[in-house]
Amino acid sequence: MAETITFTLVKSGIGSTKKINATLTGLGLTKMNKKITRKDTAEIRGMLKKVSHLVKVEEI
């Protein structure tokens, strides 16, 4: 596994459930095309899997 992971919000969370929007906020994705770099952990991976249809993930 990579040490860090970078993800970008490529599709809006508007119209998604409250749970999905809360996950996006928890990841720090508040605006379109915002790029976030985090430590690659199981918790982050699980959150990204839940919103995989809205984000683009790059392993660094």
pLDDT tens for each residue of 11-42: 999 999 999 999 999 999 999 999 999 999 99
- pLDDT score recorded for residue 1: 63
Q: How far lies 5's CA from each of 18, 19, 29, 59, in Å?
A: 25, 22, 14, 5
Domain membership of residue 32 as a residue range: 4-59
**What is the arithmetic mean of pLDDT over 54-58?**
97
**What is the arithmetic mean of pLDDT over 36-55?**
97
Tell me how many domains the chain contains.
1
- pLDDT score recorded for residue 2: 78
- Residue 60's CB is within 10 A of a number of other CB atoms, namely 9
- pLDDT score recorded for residue 33: 97
Which CATH number characterizes residue 55's domain? Answer: 3.30.1390.20
Strands 35-39, 4-9: pairing is antiparallel
> Assign residue 18 a region: left if phi > 0, alpha if psi is -120 to 50, beta otherwise?
alpha
